[in-house]
Amino acid sequence: MPALPTRATAAMVDRPIPDDPEGLRSEVVRLKKIVRALMGRAERDMNARHTDFGWFQDTIRLEDQVRARTRELEEAQLHIERINRDLQSAKDRLEREVDERRRANAALEQAMEQLVQTEKLAALGSLVAGVAHELNTPLGNSLTVASALSQLVQGFNEQLEAGTLRKQTLVDFVAQCRDAASLLEKNCRRAAELIGNFKQVAVDQTSMRRRRFDLRQSIEEVLSTLHPKLKHTAYGLELAVPAGIELDSFPGPIEQIVANLVNNSLQHGFEGRSEGHIHIAAEVVSGGQILLHYSDDGAGIPDAIAKRVFDPFFTTRLGRGGSGLGLYIVYNLATAALGGTIELTSGAGRGARFDLRFPRVAPSTALRGEEHDGPG
Ligand SMILES: Nc1ncnc2c1ncn2[C@@H]1O[C@H](COP(=O)(O)OP(=O)(O)OP(=O)(O)O)[C@@H](O)[C@H]1O
Ligand SMILES: [Mg+2]
């Protein structure tokens, strides 16, 4: 008598459903094999003499179960295949999107670079226009004086040749020549001064040698050159920079910054005041940075003006010797040469305070001749 389906046979069917397509496929194959084997066996047993009908029924039931299970597995396999297809198409879509985004980013970067170049050119354009405008006044004045002088000389010469020259004419002529010469000198000096300032704007690399130096020493040096300006005044200067702060940077720009700030305190801050104080201090802060504090207790800078003081050609002394390049140069030196930042804190009647922050070791990118476009 053939054996009834044993627990072992049931165990062969009741395995857990694998959750990967490959496992599912081999499970389906395996179950099909079991079904075929069982069917073959049932057929054989049907033909045998000792067929037991109960066992036959069990076999049929088992076979049904296996079929149902196989169907379930096949459906599960189809489902997983569908999920895989969906996943694959989602992955393709994502890859396409990443690709598109990468291309868009590259285009954006290029556009930004172009914009920066365009803005640089625009800044340069306005600087050149400003230079032309500023130089126009002293050069125009010189031209007027020179042609007036030429006419004067011609008239004088005519009188001389005609023998009609009187002593008074000669005296007047000398006085007029002296005035003309002084006007010419003043205007030429102004033009030379402006050109000197414009040269500084270009952050002249040759005058900026990098070296190791002591911060206090280099500030003392520049203050000694400013001493004559302070000597006969009631204005005082206190230097609270400790000795021994050694920098590997550009002493030239630091000296130029200090000189421009002191000149501004004298010209703007203390104008019309009987006394005034300048305080210069420095400290080493975290990250190898130097903080240089410059302050005066002068007139201060009203908020409306403070926003514009670093712009090229902004001056409140138009026509009185101001070109408005001093703080623009300071800004360029602080950022381009020293690789740092400069901040103004002020207000009308509160004095002016400039905080300059720059690295103790200047970055190697500083002073590659890049021109900065100003803060705004
Ligand atoms: N310490 C200060 N106190 C008050 N006002 C100041 C001070 N420093 C600068 N300013 C203001 O900022 C403006 C811009 O200064 P900046 O040095 O750029 O030009 P300027 O001194 O007018 O001309 P330049 O420096 O070319 O001779 C000045 O005209 C002045 O109004
Ligand atoms: Mg100035």
Reported as half-sphere exposure (CB side, CA atoms, 13 A), residue 117 has a value of 6
Residue 21 lies in a domain: yes
Which pLDDT does position 1 carry in this prediction?
A: 42
Are 70 and 140 members of one domain?
Answer: no
Distance 226 CA to ligand 2 centre (A): 14
Distance 327 CA to ligand 2 centre (A): 6
Residue 114 lies in a domain: no
Are 93 and 132 members of one domain?
Answer: no
Are 186 and 273 members of one domain?
Answer: no
Range of the domain at 327: 211-359
The pocket around ligand 1, CB under 6 angstroms, is made up of 197, 264-265, 267-269, 296, 298-299, 301, 305, 309, 314-317, 322-328, 352
Which pLDDT does position 87 carry in this prediction?
A: 94
Which pLDDT does position 367 carry in this prediction?
A: 54
Are 70 and 177 members of one domain?
Answer: no
Closest atom of ligand 1 to CA, residue 314: 14
Residue 368 lies in a domain: no
Are 144 and 269 members of one domain?
Answer: no
Which pLDDT does position 115 carry in this prediction?
A: 74
Are 243 and 322 members of one domain?
Answer: yes
Cβ atoms within 10 A of the Cβ of 73, count?
Answer: 20
Nearest-CA residue for atom 20 of ligand 1? 324
- Say what angle helices 53-162 and 167-201 make with each other, to 10 degrees: 170
> Residue 325 to residues 137, 161, 202, 312, 321: CA-CA distances in angstroms?
16, 50, 12, 5, 11
Closest CA to 241 of 212, 280, 277, 294: 280
Which pLDDT does position 4 carry in this prediction?
A: 47
Which residue numbers in the chain have pLDDT < 70? 1-10, 45-52, 119-120, 123, 199-208, 365-376
Distance (Å, rounded) from C-alpha 369 to C-alpha 374?
15
Which pLDDT does position 215 carry in this prediction?
A: 95
* Residues around the ion ligand 2 (C-beta < 5 A): 264, 326
